[in-house]
Amino acid sequence: MSPRWMRTHEFVEPRSPLNMECRTSASRSLRVINICLVAVVGIFLSSLDATAASSGPGLPPSSYALGQGWFFPQYDLRLGGYTDIKYYQIDHGKRALSVEDASLFVTKDWGSRWRFFTETELTDALNSEGNGVTMTDARIDVERLYLDYRLFDSATLRFGKFLTPIGQWNLTHADPLVWTSVRPLTTESSFASHANGAMIYGTLNVDSNDLDYWLFVDDSAAIGIDTTNDAAFGAYGATNKLKNSFAHAVGGQLLYHMWNGHLSIGGSAATFTMELPNISYSLLGLDIDWSDRFGDVSGEAIRRTSHSPGYPDDYGGYLQGVLNLPSRFFLVGRIERYKSAAVTGRITLRTVGVNYRPSAGVVVKVERVDGTNSRTVSPSGWFASFGLLF
């Protein structure tokens, strides 16, 4: 997820109400957004042309379902997205209401092998800290922008900007899809959430079970698209503004599903150089998820080893439990321990919350976070959100 409202207050450059972020220059930002807009418009127009030759499968001309977007089978085009509204009350600190994300997905398929996908996000669209509503932090981020080519069923090539395949949370981090409003440090603090480059991924059948794999190579230093939106500490109220953007990276993940998909165990590995400070690291991660009709237990652990003297390692992990309650309510609890080079002492975060998911794609969350040594990176407080996948 993008860094949130707090970090934008510390940017030195003046920001327009709708400001396209860019790592190097404003002209580069404009170039990227122009490319996006031209691509989207081009895709849509080519879709319209294509319908003259092919009307697609014999399905209704278009359909909409909450949580599944608006699908136009004639064009093999799907429009959708998600949005979330958040309220937070930091202990002994500020409270605020924020329309944090308004993301638009465009998915366009060409035949059975090519797919274009983009997620463009209006971030921090509206903020209220008790003295009126402001839009001064609003900006447009290109969260994802890639082209997929399916080589065969078990291997797809991806080019562009995509979510870094380390752990499971980062791959499904949208507010309506996760169990808490506050993200565990383990899932974002030690690597960049996004990568720019190429990836091969797919699913292999091993002993009648699925083995998902991802292998990626990043060259953000050369081709980075809108890379400033990866904060090391994106929690609400975090005052540490460290950025996590790759300069170069290579890595991957394996995820093995068993017990009819009810248990998944994964491992991640990567070696990378961060953009600022320019330090090389290697990373190992583990993740596990068990789900049943009673609930879900999941966890991730990570260790980032520094290859530069004077920069200590980061390591930590979390364990989270979700208990299904009647009437689509869920009780959520999580404990996390994390050691960051950016913080003195070991961080402990204890989270207890409730989710209400009245229908597909809709979630209301309320949670309480209590932290030790976490004030600058994930402060204690009350957090609530309304998320909508549309």
Partner 1 sequence: MVVAGPVRAVHAGPPPADPNALAIIASQKTIVPDASVVLLRDIFLKKVVLTPEGDEYIPVNLPPTNPLRMAFNRMVIHMDAQQNELFWDRAYFGGTSPPYVLGSERAVLRFVATENAAIGYVRACFVTPAVKVLKLITLDVPPPARTLAPCPEASGRR
When binding is defined by CB under 8 A, the residue of 17, 26, 45, 153 that contacts partner 1 is: 153
Residue 39 contacts residue 171 (beta carbons within 8 Å): no
Q: Taking contact as CB under 8 A, which single stretch among the options 47-55, 166-174, 246-254, 308-316 is the one that binds partner 1?
A: 166-174
When binding is defined by CB under 8 A, the residue of 291, 306, 348, 373 that contacts partner 1 is: 291
Counting contacts by CB under 8 A, is residue 294 touching partner 1?
Answer: no
Give the CA angle between residues 217, 340, 376 to the nearest 5°. Answer: 115
**Residue 79 Cβ, how far from partner 1 at the closest point, in Å?**
11
Strand pairing category for 314-324 and 329-339? antiparallel
Instruction: Give the count of beta carbons closer than 10 Å to the beta carbon of residue 217.
Output: 15
Counting contacts by CB under 8 A, is residue 325 touching partner 1?
Answer: no
Cβ-based nearer residue to partner 1, 123 or 380: 123
- How far is residue 178 CA from its own chain's centroid? 10
Q: Taking contact as CB under 8 A, which single stretch among the options 28-36, 53-61, 131-139, 313-321 is the one that binds partner 1?
A: 53-61
**Both structure tokens of 34:** 């122009």
Q: Taking contact as CB under 8 A, which single stretch among the options 6-14, 55-63, 121-129, 313-321 is the one that binds partner 1?
A: 55-63
When binding is defined by CB under 8 A, the residue of 111, 130, 309, 326 that contacts partner 1 is: 111
Contact positions with partner 1 (CB under 8 A) in 128-147: none
Size of the site for partner 1 (CB under 8 A): 43
Residue 253 contacts residue 214 (beta carbons within 8 Å): yes
How many residues make up the chain in this entry? 390
Q: Taking contact as CB under 8 A, which single stretch among the options 5-13, 37-45, 66-74, 367-375 is the one that binds partner 1?
A: 66-74
Which amino acid, residue 386?
F
**Residue 109 Cβ, how far from partner 1 at the closest point, in Å?**
8
Cα–Cα distance, 337 to 348 (Å, whole number): 5
Contact positions with partner 1 (CB under 8 A) in 328-367: 328, 360-361
**Residue 42 Cβ, how far from partner 1 at the closest point, in Å?**
18
Cα–Cα distance, 124 to 219 (Å, whole number): 28
For 265-270, the CB contacts below 8 A with 24+ separation are 266/167, 266/168, 266/212, 268/165, 268/166, 268/167, 268/302, 270/164, 270/166, 270/191
**Residue 153 Cβ, how far from partner 1 at the closest point, in Å?**
5
Question: Could you give the string, one character per residue 170-209, with x where binding to partner 1 holds by CB under 8 A and - elsewhere?
Answer: -xx-x-xx-------------------------x-x--x-
Counting contacts by CB under 8 A, is residue 307 touching partner 1?
Answer: no
Contact positions with partner 1 (CB under 8 A) in 214-253: none
Nearest to 298 by CA among 348, 273, 343, 332: 332
Q: Reduced to 3 DSSP states, what percent helix, strand and coil does the chain have, rounded to the nearest 5?
A: 15, 55, 35
**Residue 2 Cβ, how far from partner 1 at the closest point, in Å?**
15
Nearest to 100 by CA among 82, 77, 74, 79: 82
When binding is defined by CB under 8 A, the residue of 105, 246, 281, 338 that contacts partner 1 is: 105
When binding is defined by CB under 8 A, the residue of 14, 57, 132, 326 that contacts partner 1 is: 57
Q: Taking contact as CB under 8 A, which single stretch among the options 13-21, 54-62, 89-97, 222-230 is the one that binds partner 1?
A: 54-62
Cα–Cα distance, 224 to 113 (Å, whole number): 25
Ranges of H-type helices in the chain: 5-8, 26-53, 220-223
When binding is defined by CB under 8 A, the residue of 67, 267, 321, 333 that contacts partner 1 is: 67
Nearest to 201 by CA among 187, 218, 215: 215
8-state DSSP, 184: P
Q: Taking contact as CB under 8 A, which single stretch among the options 106-114, 229-237, 333-341, 370-378 is the one that binds partner 1?
A: 106-114
Counting contacts by CB under 8 A, is residue 210 touching partner 1?
Answer: yes
**Both structure tokens of 257:** 């599903």
Residue ranges that bind partner 1, judged by CB under 8 A: 57-59, 63, 65, 67-69, 71, 73, 78, 80, 82, 105, 107, 111-113, 115, 117, 148, 150, 152-153, 171-172, 174, 176-177, 203, 205, 208, 210, 260-262, 291, 293, 324, 328, 360-361, 389
